[in-house]
Structure 1
């Protein structure tokens, strides 16, 4: 697929008058195509060394340059603007943009890199993993597989040219790129890009853009559930990125109508999505594999064989046919499964598997706890104990907070120690920096 194919697709679906917008500008698909052509000509007329590092912000200009890079066979890595944890010498020239289009393309900056450790591979795009549990990895994808992955999403999500889609999730992440952005572009939906949403800004965007679809994270959904009014304007929302407990899912269904759980990863793109149930319009909170995707769940761990997954990690060019995701699940491959957490973020205590993400969801129900990260404590005769680092401004003593948690948590799952912090450390993506927390607190409660 090239730019001309995409243009023809937009023409056939009569989407040229649909819009692409961000917090600074609104343009039509027709204007977008003209600007993509300008960026494509710029890429063709400039001499640059690959693989290139493209620093991508949540703006229309970055989106249009991204499309041009995709269809000009440029070998590049997609990075957030403030990326500090990747060795810059891994890549050659560095491309940055300002979010406003300027005459003579003065908003484009190409920085030459003196040294480059990576040999260019035509047609490849690299994504950076979050690194929340360790050192970030660079994942190598083929662009035609990325597009095929996004087409696969359309077999499950009812997106079309009349959809008005709000995308606050970063497009340099696979969720924003492969699950949100490209499926919407393929059907010619109207798209609004934004970032750093709080409830007030979310309401303002709703009034301005009037979305019918939104791609969110469970934490954003949880914050929006605090609003009392029902959001009747949505046809559906999509949630991915963390585990979604059933109670929150049901509350979100009541508020937003249909909610599609989505499961995927940087390595595999989209793996599974919830299905519309035969009875009515409700969507199952469990997810089932997309067409062509094979899933094995053994000892509650998920392994996936994906026809459109990644090739390999940079500098690690072999991998198993079935990719071990490191995630835990309950359910089965046929009727559907729920992701309950990461295998590395779980313990066995009193013969029971405790997934930290499930337990964290329960702990966050306490009125004085804004967020929480669990780590394993030292071993005793029953297995590893649990240490809870909570984000809270409460004046309650840690022992009192632990006593209150013990009123609604099972005895075996009650943390042995509570540590109260005004703010938990976070990554640029907004996720909790679990690696930093583990270094400080793991196995250190006594």
Structure 2
């Protein structure tokens, strides 16, 4: 008697709604022409607001200003700023003229800024003058002599910005239409840098088709329409803000609400109340901060219906509180990665509460996912853990100017290998249980230990360094560095490491814990056992409670 074959860990997302064949600019225009009087963008701190009709006029002025500045299709424009309205204007303006927008993390320091400017060949940089403790203007001045492609810097909120936009207000609308018509949905339009396993970030290159459809489908699964107002405290430089936030809104006709330049729990709760937001986004850390704010009870959040929690493993208890205390009964968990535009799986409104709080949902429309044996590449039976892979419209074009790195991540059949360990159940729902690669996700920020290790090697007292992620109740994970010291080196403390890294590394890449050891745990073949290091660190640092938190 032969047994029936096991059901494979494979699922494809069916949909009666077709993919969009538009460019981002054309799709935006369609929405603006259909509902010119609906609110499109609200910047709460400044009180600035635009209807769709007004926003289209402003976007076109910025686009024609960029044309007047000499930008051509395929040129790269960098944007280095926190969440401000100008970020959104530049996002849509570049898309209209085929200029590739390069997102630069607001936390970057000079070392990272210079690398990205050179690697992407950025010719124009639009930047804030400063944000938090970062003096952007000074940092740009410092690296500019080393960046030969950079010919123009436009600082937001200064006469630079007005000088860029003013020529566009009297520009030739026919020229803009011609440039728009010359674009293909498959053209690259966005580069987002993900921390690099080899010491430097890689530029995930995304097309109109990639990110427009991902935003559209994520928004559709949240039920968005013109009556929805989405509070976006997550950063625009990340797919969460600019795709799941901005593009989900404009492709579904909803309103983008900016609660502040950077995340602040009170400002976010205030924006939800003032603008009667129906949806709120955040990584788990943000929701925890809002729920624990002493003034939480003072805000009227009754307008909230839905929202998205993503970017980090989502603690089950936090999800339950978001549903119960914030009234977000239709809240959704999304899972994905920058290289997949970003969302591959999402929970649905009609999923049971247990499914919505304890899984990352099932495959999105028009996408495929499978769980494979990392060694053989063969699809595993359902219920068995393996590497999660995804395929479809969302998979990036590749890493900018790095074909070898692209080939390591996307196989010949166009499956993106995520490096995450997933388990698919009988109904097609997924749980993420760990990572094959040792990437650390700290509060929604992807950090590759190798990048930090390479940096720590430059410290005069450090002989060798290994960086791991350890559990953290607030950020999901924190960085812990195990280091061995050179002979005769002085005692090394966390404070000394922080001092050495401050100003050179983004704050979220600086290890919270530093452990000086004589040697690292090794396998017989000489490989460092990071799993064992993590287990030991949990005990040595007293992180058992954080390690016990259950995530989707």
TM-score (norm 1): 0.72
Distance in 1 (CA, whole Å) between partners of 2:399 and 2:243 is 18
Matched residue, 1:274: 347
Matched residue, 2:315: 245
Matched residue, 1:105: 162
Distance in 2 (CA, whole Å) between partners of 1:281 and 1:105 is 51
Q: 1:250 to 1:187 in 2, by over 3 A?
A: same
Matched residue, 2:117: 88
Distance in 1 (CA, whole Å) between partners of 2:421 and 2:480 is 17
- Contact 1:52-1:75 at 8 Å conserved across structures: yes
Distance in 2 (CA, whole Å) between partners of 1:427 and 1:21 is 33
- Contact 2:216-2:252 at 8 Å conserved across structures: no
Q: 1:82 to 1:421 in 2, by over 3 A?
A: closer
Higher helix share: 2
Query: Offset at 1:322?
Result: 1.8
Query: Offset at 1:15?
Result: 4.9
Query: Offset at 1:288?
Result: 0.7
SS at match of 1:154: helix
Matched residue, 1:61: 86
Structure 2 matches for 1:216-231, cutoff 5 A? 216-227=282-293, 229=297, 231=301
Query: Offset at 1:275?
Result: 1.6
- Contact 1:98-1:107 at 8 Å conserved across structures: no
Matched residue, 1:291: 365
- Contact 1:168-1:215 at 8 Å conserved across structures: yes
SS at match of 1:181: helix
Could you list the runs of 5+ residues in structure 2 that have no partner in the other structure? 1-21, 127-153, 167-185, 373-384, 440-467, 484-492, 521-532, 541-552
Structure 2 matches for 1:303-322, cutoff 5 A? 303-317=389-403, 318=407, 319-320=410-411, 321-322=414-415
- Contact 2:28-2:251 at 8 Å conserved across structures: yes
Q: In the comparison of the two structures, how many residue pairs are matched?
A: 379
Distance in 2 (CA, whole Å) between partners of 1:155 and 1:432 is 33
SS at match of 1:203: helix
- Contact 2:42-2:256 at 8 Å conserved across structures: yes
Matched residue, 1:47: 70
Q: 1:31 to 1:422 in 2, by over 3 A?
A: farther
Q: 1:290 to 1:435 in 2, by over 3 A?
A: farther
SS at match of 2:369: strand
Distance in 2 (CA, whole Å) between partners of 1:323 and 1:212 is 33
Query: Offset at 1:219?
Result: 0.5
TM-score (norm 2): 0.59
Distance in 2 (CA, whole Å) between partners of 1:41 and 1:370 is 42
Q: 1:145 to 1:82 in 2, by over 3 A?
A: same
Query: Offset at 1:218?
Result: 0.6
- Contact 1:132-1:431 at 8 Å conserved across structures: no
Q: 1:197 to 1:279 in 2, by over 3 A?
A: closer
The two structures, once aligned, show a CA RMSD in angstroms of 4.0
Distance in 2 (CA, whole Å) between partners of 1:162 and 1:304 is 33
Could you list the runs of 5+ residues in structure 1 that have no partner in the other structure? 110-120, 347-355, 379-418
SS at match of 1:168: coil
347, 360, 371: which is aligned to 2:471?
A: 360
- Contact 1:77-1:126 at 8 Å conserved across structures: yes
Matched residue, 2:270: 204
Query: Offset at 1:283?
Result: 4.0
Higher strand share: 1
The reply on whether 1:20 has 2:41 as its aligned counterpart is yes
Q: 1:181 to 1:19 in 2, by over 3 A?
A: closer
Matched residue, 2:100: 75
Distance in 2 (CA, whole Å) between partners of 1:343 and 1:282 is 24
